[in-house]
Amino acid sequence: MRKIILAKMNVRGKRARLWLAKQIAVCLVTSFVIAQSAYSPTLWAAEPSAVAASLSNADQVKNCDFSQAANWWQRSVTQVPGSIASNPVTGSPEFCEFYQFAQDWFLYLISPSAKPGLANWQDQAQYPVLEIGANSCDGATKDRGLSIRTAKTIDDTGAIILPERTDQAGAHAIYDQAGNVVFYEIRLSHNLCDYAAIQSEPNFPAKTVEMKMAWRVMKPNESTDGFVLSDATIDGVDYTLGMIGWHIVVAADNHPEMVWITLDHQANAVDCADMAKGQSAYDFTSEACAVDATACQKLNESQPFTTVSLPSGQRGNDICQEFPYGTVEGDPIDTRNGLNIALIEKLNAAQQTVLAGAGVPASLDVWKSYEFNGALWVSDISKGSGSSSPASTTNQRGSLELANVVLETTFQGSAANGGGALNCFGCHNYNGTANVANQPNTSFAAHLSHSFDDMILGQCKDVASATLINNQAQADAACPTACAPQAGFSKWNGQWTNKGVPMTVCGCCPDSVK
């Protein structure tokens, strides 16, 4: 990947990575103090362009400080910002402040928690695993390893194992070049468990966090250096998994659309534009493809899931990164694209210094192998995100083509999209503060947070229908009747199934769900 890489890092033990950060000047000065501001739709509604013009993009990059205070890994969640800070020159948040916000949250999440051996992001008390079809908030999920499951056993005493949760954004699955499938894990901040309180407000509260991680199977005898690891049981077999991609989404009180952040592993895939430039194999790009695009196998296509590991001799489709930094490259620094790329490059360079600082716990050294791909937010919070596919980018800022190469392989978009883009807001709809009373962002139908919707579904229960249902029209007629007598669970969620049950069941949810 054409990003900032440690020269001495042993990636996969198969090649030496080039040091691409040639004498990058990283201005590491006194830590920037994050200003805490109360939410105000009027104050934060739009970028005051007349004032912002007094700060050039080049000066914004130069002055943007990504250094950290001493012992940053000991911060509590109360010390992590809940607002996007104001730029000291313009008086409003600029691109710099959004990336400082992203860095602060990333560093908090990877820092050691109060539970020995667990980082904050792994702490079930803070960020429970989303269990599809089960209650994510009952405390039954283990802290260690991937413990997502698609359904509970009848007595709920069976071992918690990793199921075949292989669908990424889009459809089907992706396999690495060793022929092993990629798995995904989702975690939510615990405050979302009180969904009634969350849905009593139109927007998610500040510091609400959602995470999605991508994991690949580590091959036998493969060096695991440079990978965040997790143990999992898959089809009764124990595996070691390595993290290869991470989405982090955080709500700010002055930006309720949430800041959408993504990171990936340096060894994932070649940049599409860098093929044939002395490249070698990556975990998701064959050597033949890396040096010659015509030799690629079904480039950037997913494939149906069959088994955890493909038969001997078969490998996954080739993958390349369409937009490094989620941004069209080549624009000068005085453009938004040029500014965005320059800030991400500076952040990634600074991260290497921050993680190598005095006293930093040795357990955090592994994160030097991961890089920020970018972040996405809106400019005017009174207006919507422009959700469609491709999405209108008029009110969007940051990485307008943001897509993680292993989480959204087939959703990377192209320069041909013109004024639109395939990014997070193509699937996640934000209703601006001017319209949020008509469609609260926390409602089940808003679709800003799919994970919150799934968490609510986990609170629902299956109720047998009095009649066999074979199509949606029959479900529309029968399921409301099946749910109506259920005390406290009379609201049908629109779902039904005949699969694996003697009679059709309907999903009946708590009455408090909106």
pTM of the complete model? 0.79
38/57 Cα distance (integer angstroms): 27
* Residue 243 pLDDT greater than 60, yes or no: yes
How confident is the model over 351-364, as a mean pLDDT? 97
DSSP 173-228: B-B-TTSBBEEEEEEE-GGGG-HHHHHTSSSPPTT-EEEEEEEEEPPTT---TT--
How confident is the model over 13-21, as a mean pLDDT? 32
State the pLDDT at residue 403. 87
State the pLDDT at residue 156. 33
Confidence of residue 114 (pLDDT cuts 50, 70, 90): very high
State the pLDDT at residue 503. 85
Q: Which of 83-87, 340-344, 492-496 has the lowest mean pLDDT?
A: 492-496
Residues 6+ apart with CB under 8 A from 294: none
**Of 135-139, 191-195, 224-228, 490-494, which one has max mean pLDDT?**
224-228
How confident is the model over 28-41, as a mean pLDDT? 29
Tens-place pLDDT, residues 39-48: 222 223 334 4
Confidence of residue 286 (pLDDT cuts 50, 70, 90): very high
* Residue 1 pLDDT greater than 50, yes or no: no
* Residue 84 pLDDT greater than 80, yes or no: yes
State the pLDDT at residue 34. 28
How confident is the model over 292-305, as a mean pLDDT? 88
DSSP letter, residue 434:
T
Q: Which of 111-125, 408-422, 442-456, 457-471 has the lowest mean pLDDT?
A: 408-422
State the pLDDT at residue 414. 65
How confident is the model over 212-225, as a mean pLDDT? 91
Question: Quick check: 241 and 232 in contact, CB under 8 A?
Answer: yes
169/441 Cα distance (integer angstroms): 21
Q: Which tokens is 294 given?
A: 């015509």
State the pLDDT at residue 7. 30
Helix (H) or strand (E) run with residue 259 in it: strand 255-265
State the pLDDT at residue 140. 65
* SS3 assignment, position 339: helix
Helix (H) or strand (E) run with residue 252 in it: strand 237-252
- Estimate the crossing angle of helix 95-110 against helix 336-355, to 10 degrees: 30
Tens-place pLDDT, residues 246-263: 999 999 999 999 999 999
Average pLDDT score, the chain: 80
State the pLDDT at residue 141. 59
213/109 Cα distance (integer angstroms): 13
State the pLDDT at residue 510. 85
State the pLDDT at residue 416. 53
* Residue 231 pLDDT greater than 70, yes or no: yes
Beta-strand (E) ranges in 33-175?
none
* Residue 14 pLDDT greater than 70, yes or no: no
> pLDDT over 70 for what percent of the chain?
80
How confident is the model over 92-116, as a mean pLDDT? 97
385/82 Cα distance (integer angstroms): 21
* Residue 31 pLDDT greater than 70, yes or no: no
481/58 Cα distance (integer angstroms): 63
Confidence of residue 118 (pLDDT cuts 50, 70, 90): very high
Residues facing residue 370 across a β-bridge: 265
Tens-place pLDDT, residues 127-177: 998 876 677 887 765 543 343 322 222 233 333 333 334 444 555 788 999
State the pLDDT at residue 453. 79
Confidence of residue 290 (pLDDT cuts 50, 70, 90): very high
Q: Which of 108-112, 137-141, 344-348 has the lowest mean pLDDT?
A: 137-141
> pLDDT over 90 for what percent of the chain?
46
32-66 b/e with 16+ CB inside 10 Å = b? bebeebebeeeebbeeeeeebeebebeebbebbbb
